[in-house]
Amino acid sequence: MRFRLQAREVRLQLDSCDVATAVGRRDYAVLVLLARLGLRGAEAAALELDDVDWRGGEVAIRGKGRRLERLPLPVAVGEALAAYLTGGRPRCGAATVFVTARAPYRALTPMAVRQIVARACRRAGLRRLGAHRLRHTLATAMLQAGAPLAEVGQVLRHRSHLATATYAKVDEQALRPLARPWPGRRS
């Protein structure tokens, strides 16, 4: 089983969103958050309006164990959020960034985020994938680009290096040159 997506597959998912519509701008912003910041689906759903510090260029993430952690706000993520907030999000009393497309407007649930990813896969002609696959993809891409495991763990907000190490095991092609021949066998 391949845990990571190819860059082309991520781009297909993002490009499948019709950003000329409010729903498309919302879905695009959700996918960009998952793909560029490695958020879990529940973290994207829980993102609140006050969590985005536009002036400071940071976003606060409500992670596992109710921890609140700050991440830099990449330009692509900020632009996607701004496009949705100014041209897609309905006026409502919900504190969360992402809300349902029809009244009564409510916060998106983690299940709704999974459905956004599933619909993007279908539109892009990909097999159905979970939101967590985008997190794996970011982690392995960072490792392939030479980021140390500790840095990947910091971006993913892991408490343990062991949790981050599972992402390193995924990329068998990158690990193959590191494998030593079995003693007594010809290489």
Which residues are tagged catalytic? 40, 64, 132, 135, 158, 167
Contact 36, 76 (CB under 8 A): yes
Contact assessment for residue 51 and residue 59, using Cβ atoms and an 8 Å cutoff: yes
For the packed helices 75-87 and 22-37, what is the interaxial angle rounded to 10 degrees? 160
In angstroms, rounded to a whole number, what is the distance separating the alpha carbons of residues 31 and 86?
18
Length of the chain: 187
Written in H, E and C, the secondary structure of 8-30 is: HHHHHHHHCCCCCCHHHHHHHHH
